[in-house]
Structure 1
Amino acid sequence: MSTQPSARPVLSPVAHRALWVLQILLGLFFVFASAVPKFYGDPYAVLIFEEIGAGQWLRYVVGALELAGGIGLMTRRFAGPAAVGLVLLMVGAGLTQAFVLHGGLLVLTPVVLGLLAAAIAYGRRETLRTGR
């Protein structure tokens, strides 16, 4: 019998299931509503990255990061790290929206997505320490 405390925070079964639902929904959003349009050249995605001025290569990089993060959210092992990565990506998106694109209320989208990802990162913080 181990005398060390458990590395996993204790979540109620309801909180655990709610976190999984959030992970799956946010993961599907990042994969299908955010990454896929960037890869197939959705006109709005192309326009946004033209306005940013860094080139279309950045659209593919951001799409790849969103795809990896979305898939990661839907796995037990990578949910925490994926959520942290998506928080950082959404910080960059929010700053870009605010200062480069002058997006006004459009800044709320990456802020809300970042906060949801932060809640997942907090709830799955054991995967950040243990890798399990």
Structure 2
Amino acid sequence: MTAITATPARTTSRAGNIGLWTLQVLLAVVYAFSAFGKLTAEAQNVAGFQAMGLGNTGMYIIGTLELAGAIAMFIPVLTGLAAACFVALMIGAVIATRAIGGGALAAIPATVLVVAAIVAWGRRDSTRRLVARLRH
């Protein structure tokens, strides 16, 4: 008797997959540009992180995380997890922007939050597979 192995059900249509890849590229570009400003200590980023009380260390840590996430958008096994981490990062960004008086400026990280959430949801099967692989 031979074992039957279940193949994972395809949860994304071809058009859905193309849409997700488009959003992934968009997120990668947004985060790469954002990381560049932080990692090169552009004056506006330095001032913003000082105003939030995170200082240069916080700026470099977040810049590094953004760059790593941008790269992960092109590594299929990591995309869902990276997008989920971006969701958490953007929740913090929305809160921080509102807290320092950003008001309407909070719409920018909120929009990126929504895009990251769409990718995280669309790539949730890859995240499940990654977690299962790490458990074994």
Report the Cα distance in structure 1 between the residues aligned to 2:62 and 2:76, rounded to whole angstroms: 23
What is the aligned partner in structure 2 of residue 52 from structure 1? 52
Q: How does 1:31-46 map to 2 (within 5 A)?
A: 31=32, 33-46=33-46
Once the two structures are superposed, residues 20-64 of structure 1 have per-residue CA deviations (whole angstroms, 9 ceiling, x without a partner) of: 111012112101x20011011111101101111222100001101
Q: In the alignment, which residue of structure 2 is the partner of 1:120?
A: 119
Q: Aligned pair in 2 of structure 1 residues 8, 35: CA closer, same or farther (>3 Å)?
A: farther
Aligned pair count reads 129
- Give identity over the alignment, percent: 33
CA distance in 2, matches of 1:70, 1:8: 27
2:68 maps to 68
What is residue 15 of structure 2 aligned with on the other side?
14
Aligned counterpart, 1:2: 4
Gap runs ≥5 in structure 2: none
Q: Is the 8 A contact 1:9 1:126 kept in 2?
A: no
**Alpha-carbon RMSD:** 1.6
Using the size of structure 2 for normalisation, the TM-score is 0.88
User: Is the 2:69–2:86 contact (alpha carbons within 8 Å) kept by the matching residues of 1?
Assistant: yes
Structure 1 alignment gaps of length 5 or more? none
Opposite residue 92 of structure 2, the aligned amino acid is G
Runs of 4+ residues over 2 Å off in structure 1? 1-4, 6-10
The structure richer in helix per residue is: 2
Q: TM-score normalised to the size of structure 1?
A: 0.91
